[in-house]
Amino acid sequence: MAYSLVSYPDPRLKVDHSKPIRFFDYRDSIDIAFSIMEKAMAEEKGLGIAAVQVGIHLPICIVGNIYMINPKVESLSLIYEDALEGCLSCPGERIKVSRPKEVDVSYINTKGKKVNSKFNGLYARCFLHEVDHIRGKLIKDYSAN
C-alpha cells in the first residue's frame, strides 16, 4: 500500500480532526489507515504517527505499538519536562517543547473497546505529540512560546 507523508507547510496538517468517530462506522477505513500508518512509521523510523500525517483525516494514531482511535487526554501531571522533539512532518527540525511527564489517557482499541491507560516519559510525550497532530497543532507552534 502506497503512502505519502504530508509535510509542513501543507494546510491539511493544521485542520482539527479531533471530533470522535464511531468505531463500527469506520472499521474498514481504520484498518486500511492503520496499515498505511504502520508502514510509514516503520520506514521513517518514527515512534508515533497520526493519520493526518499520511493524508487520512480520522482521529487515530499509533504510539509505539499501540493503535488508538479517538485518543483523549484525561488528565496531565503537574510536572513538566523540556525536550527537543522531531516530527515526521517537519523533517530535519527539532524544537524544544515542554510537556507533562505523565498523562492519563483513554482511547478505543482496534477491537472497538474503550481503554484507559497511563503513559509517562517518552511515551507521554509521543502521545501528546500525536494528539496535537489530530488537533491540527505542530511542534512549530511551540517555537514561538
What is the number of domains present in the chain?
1
Q: Does some domain include residue 104?
A: yes
| Whole-structure pTM value | 0.95
d(CA 87, CA 93): 7
CA distance 15 to 63: 20
Task: List the pLDDT tens digit at each of the 145 positions of the chain.
Answer: 567 899 999 999 999 999 999 998 999 999 999 999 999 999 999 999 999 999 999 999 999 999 999 999 999 999 999 999 999 999 999 999 999 999 999 999 999 999 999 999 999 999 999 999 999 999 999 986 4
Cβ contact 123:104 at 8 Å:
no
Q: Sheet holding 60-63: strands in order across? A: 48-50, 60-63, 66-76, 102-108, 114-120
Q: In this structure, are strands 60-63 and 48-50 parallel, antiparallel, or unpaired?
A: antiparallel
* pLDDT, position 4: 87
The C-alpha cell that represents 36 in the structure block: 498505511
106 located within any domain: yes
Does residue 46 lie in a domain region?
yes
What is the residue range of 34's domain?
11-142
Q: Which residues are catalytic?
A: 130
Q: What is the CATH number of the domain that holds 132?
A: 3.90.45.10
Rg (CA), the chain: 14
